[in-house]
Structure 1
Amino acid sequence: MNNKKIFTNRKIVILLASFCCILWGSAYPGVKSGYALFKISTDNIFSELSFAGYRFIIAGLMVLIVALFSSKNLFSLTRKNIKELILLGLTQTTLQYMFFYIGLAHTSGVKASIMNSTSAFFSVILAHFLYNDDRINSRKAIGCILGFIGVLLVNFSSDLLNFSFKINGEGFIAVAAFAFSACSIYGKKICKSIDSMLVTGYQLLIGGLVLLILGISNKGHVTNFTIGSTLVLLYLGLLSAVAFSIWTILLKYNKVGSIALFNFLIPISGAILSSIFLKENIFDWENAVALILVCIGVYIVNHHPNKLLKV
C-alpha cells in the first residue's frame, strides 16, 4: 500500500488527525508546566518567545534527523524551494506564535481558546475559494457549527458574557488562527515539489530560530535548566515534530476542509488534559458534551460511505 492509499483511508485519517490534535492539546498543560519549571512569568512575552524558539528548533531538528536516517536528501533544494520554506517558517511558526503569545497576554484564556478555534472556519472558507472540489456544503457547515458550540461549551464561564474586543488581544489571536489556516494551505501547495518531512522540519527550524533571536535580543532569556524542565521542553519539541509531520502529510493527500474540522478537538483535549495533569476538576459535564459535539461534527463531515477521503 502506497502513501496516498494509507493517508486517504478514512479510518486512518480520523485516527491520525485526532492523534495530532490530542498532541497539540497536551501542549496546553505542557507549556504551563514549562513556564513554571523554567520560572517564566506569564507577562514576560520575550522569554515566552525564547521558550517557543527552543521548542520549535528542537522539533525541526528532530524531524530533519529522522528524514536524514530515512535517506532523504536534506540539501536537494532549489533557490525557489528555499524561499518557500523561509516564507512558510516565518509565517506558520514565527508570525503565528508571536501573535498568539502577544494576544494571550491581553485577553483571557477562555477567549483565546475560542478565538484560536476559528482556524477551522478559516481553513474551510479558504479551501472553498481555492479548491473547486473542496466547497462548503451542508455537512461542513453543520460540522463547523457543532464543533464551535463544543468549544464554546468547554470554555463557558461568566467571562463569555463580556463582549469586549481588543485588537492586541482577541484580534491578535484571530490573526494567529488565520495564519495557521493560510499557511497549512500554502504548505500543502509546496509539498507538491518538496518532500513533506523536509517542509515540516525546515519550517519549524527556521521559525524557531527567528523566535529565539527575537526573544533573546529583547532580553527574553530562558534559565533554570533542570532534568525536569529539560524533559518538558523535549516533550514539547517532540509533540510538535510528530503532530506537524503527520498533519502536513494528511493535508497533502486530503481535502483541507475535511481535515480542518479536527482543530476543534484541540481546545477540548487541552482542557481535559489540563484537568488531568494540572490537578484541575475533570468531572465537568460540559467537557464530555463538548467532546461528543465535536466528534459528531467530525463524523458528519468525514462520513462518506464506501469512499476514501480524496483530494
Structure 2
Amino acid sequence: MREENIFTGKYSVPFLATLACILWGTAFPFLKISYQELGIGKNDYLLKILFASYRFLMAAVILLIWRVIKTRKSISHDITTLGKKSIIKLLLLGFIQTTLQYFFFYNGLANTTGVKASILNTLGIFLTVVLSHFIFYYDKLNLQKSLGLVLGFSGVVLVNLSRGEFSFSFNFLGEGFIIMAAITSALSNLLVKKISLKIEPTIITAYQMLMGALILFLIAVTGVSPLSLNMSLKALLILIYLSFVSAAGFGLWYSLIKYNKLGYISIYRFVIPVSGVFFSTLLLNEGITGYIFTALVFVSTGIVLINYKRT
C-alpha cells in the first residue's frame, strides 16, 4: 500500500493521529519518573535540557537507522541529495521545533503548575488552525472547526481543573514560557507543511531532531558536564522509550501533516493532555476521576465534529 493511501485513509488518519498523540501523552509521567530516578530537581534547568538533547539525539538515530534499513540508502546520500537550501530549512525547523519549543516548555513547566501548562500549551492548536486559515487557501476556518476546537479545549480544561492547582497568576518564566512553547509548536507545524512538499517526512523528522538536539546539547554543556546524569538501568530504559515516543510520534505526525489539512488534524492534539493525565493516574497513582472520561467525550466529539464531512 502506498504511503499516501495510509496517511489519507478515512479510518487510518484518525487511528494514526490518535496513536501519535497518545504516545506523546505517555511522555509526561515517564518524564516525571526519569527526573526522580536521575535526581533532577525542579530548578535543574540545564540537566533537563541535557536529558532532552540525549532523548532527541537518540530519536534521530532511531529514525536514521530505520530509513537506511527501509530505503537501503546511506545517510551521506540523503545529505548530498538534500541540497543547501533544504538543509538550512531543516536547521531552522530543528531550532524552532526541538530547541526553542522544548527549551521553553521544560523551563516553563518548572515555574508553573502542570495544570496551567497543559491548558496554555493547547494555544498552539488554536494558533495552527487560525494561521492555516490565512496561509493555506484550502484550509479555511469555519463554524464546524470552531465548535470542534471549543469542545476539545473544554475537555482539556475540564480534566485539568479537576486536579486543582489552578490560579490566574502570571509569571513570564512560567506561563510566559509555556505560551512561547505553544507559539513555536504552531510555527513548526506550518513550516513542516511547507517543507514536506519536497522532502520526505522521515527525513524531516530525523534531521530536524538531530540538529535541534545538538543545539540543546551545546546549551546544556555551557553549565553542566555531558556526564552529569547518573544513568541507572531504569533511567536508561525510560530514555530509550521516550526516544521511541519522539521518533514514532513525530514521524507519524509529520506524515499526517504532509497529506492532510492542518486545520483538520490539529484537533487531535487535544488528546495529548487528556492522555497525559490518564497515564499519570495509572503510573504515578494520582487517582482517576470521572472528569477524565468526560473530557475524553468532549475531545472525541470535537474530533468527530471537525471531520464529520471529510472525504
Give the structure-2-normalised TM-score: 0.95
Structure 1 unaligned segments of length 5 or more: list them.
none
Identical columns (%):
40
* Cα deviation code 1:256-295 (max 9, x no counterpart): 011110111101000000111112212x011110011000
1:28 corresponds in structure 2 to 28
CA distance in 2, matches of 1:117, 1:108: 15
Q: Is the 8 A contact 2:115 2:164 kept in 1?
A: no
| Whole-angstrom CA distance in 1 between matches of 2:277 and 2:165 | 16
Contact 2:128 2:262 in 1 (8 A): yes
Match of 1:101 among 92, 95, 106: 106
Deviations 1:228-265 (A, max 9, x none): 11000000000100000000000000000111101111
| 1:117-266 → structure 2 map (5 Å cutoff) | 117-156=122-161, 157-160=163-166, 162-219=167-224, 222-266=228-272
Q: Which residue in 1 is equivalent to 2:283?
A: 277
Tell me if structure 1 keeps the 8 A contact 2:46–2:220.
Answer: yes
Q: Is the 8 A contact 1:52 1:208 kept in 2?
A: yes
| CA displacement at 1:84 relative to structure 2 | 0.5
Contact 2:205-2:254 within 8 A present in 1 as well: yes
Q: In structure 1, what is the Cα distance between the partners aligned to 2:210 and 2:234?
A: 23
Count of residues in Structure 1 that have an aligned counterpart in Structure 2 = 304
1:68–1:74 Cα contact (<8 Å) kept: no
**Segments of 4+ moved more than 6 angstroms:** none
2:42 aligned partner = 42
SS in 1 for 2:5: helix
Task: Structure 2: state its 5+ residue gaps.
Answer: none
1:150–1:220 CA distance, 2 compared to 1 (3 A): farther
Alignment correspondent of 1:2: 2
Q: Over residues 112-157 of structure 1, what are the superposed CA-to-partner deviations in whole Å (9 max), with x where a residue is unaligned?
A: 0100111110110111111111111111101110011111111105
Contact 2:47 2:229 in 1 (8 A): no
1:74 aligns with 2:78: yes
User: Match of 1:296, SS?
Assistant: helix
Distance in 2, matches of 1:166 and 1:41, equals: 20
Q: 1:212 Cα deviation (Å)?
A: 1.5
Would the alpha carbon gap of residues 241 and 158 (structure 1) be closer, same or farther in structure 2, given more than 3 Å must change?
closer
**C-alpha distance in 2, partners of 1:290/1:216?**
41
Indicate conservation of the 8 Å contact 2:17/2:253, yes or no: yes
Cα distance 1:138–1:220, how it changes in 2: closer, same or farther (>3 A)? farther
- Residue of structure 2 equivalent to 1:17: 17
SS of 2:64's partner is helix
Alpha-carbon spacing, 1:240–1:158, altered in 2? closer, same or farther (3 Å): closer
Q: How far apart in 2 are the matches of 1:51 and 1:220?
A: 12
CA pair 38-159 structure 1, distance change in 2 beyond 3 A = closer
Shift of 1:158: 4.5
